[in-house]
Amino acid sequence: MTDTHVHAPISSAPGPNGDLCIRTLAMPADTNANGDIFGGWLLSQMDVGGGVFASKVAKSRTVTVAIEAMNFRKAVYVGDLVSVYANLVRVGRASLTVHLEAWALRRGEEHPFLVTDGNFTYVSIDEHGRPQAVRSTDTVIAT
């Protein structure tokens, strides 16, 4: 994994942006064959955090229906503290799009750095698993 970016430019924000949804420690069991944290593990953490945020906004159960514009910017290593932050991008009739950022804090360092970001779309579902309208929300949409 290189530090170059192919898709979206790196955010100019000096630190994490949005609501903290999940924080976890990268462990040896989460590594790939190269000894780096497996990208699928990181994607999973982002989806869990995004699902927590989406359910809070929708005031219902939600399911992931799409992931777009994932940008793996920097490698995550064993021992890094990974935090996922969420911002609401769009609310549709039954869906909402959330921009997620994963930031890592390395042992011995003072400032976290952006490792991954992307847009995840969730759909509000009822008790039978069918799409339902997103309930009104007071959450401010990111600009």
Contact status, residue 112 vs residue 13, Cβ threshold 8 Å: no
Residue burial 25-44, b: 16+ Cβ < 10 Å; e: rest: ebeeebbeeeebbbeebbbe
Mean pLDDT value across the chain:
89
pTM score, whole prediction: 0.84
Instruction: Give one DSSP letter per residue of 57-111, joined into a string.
Output: HHTSEEEEEEEEEEEE-S---TT-EEEEEEEEEEE-SSEEEEEEEEEEE-TT-SS
Per-residue pLDDT tens over the stretch 71-82? 999 999 999 999
Per-residue pLDDT tens over the stretch 85-108? 999 999 999 999 999 999 999 999
Percentage of residues of the chain with pLDDT beyond 70: 85
pLDDT confidence of 20, banded at 50, 70, 90? very high
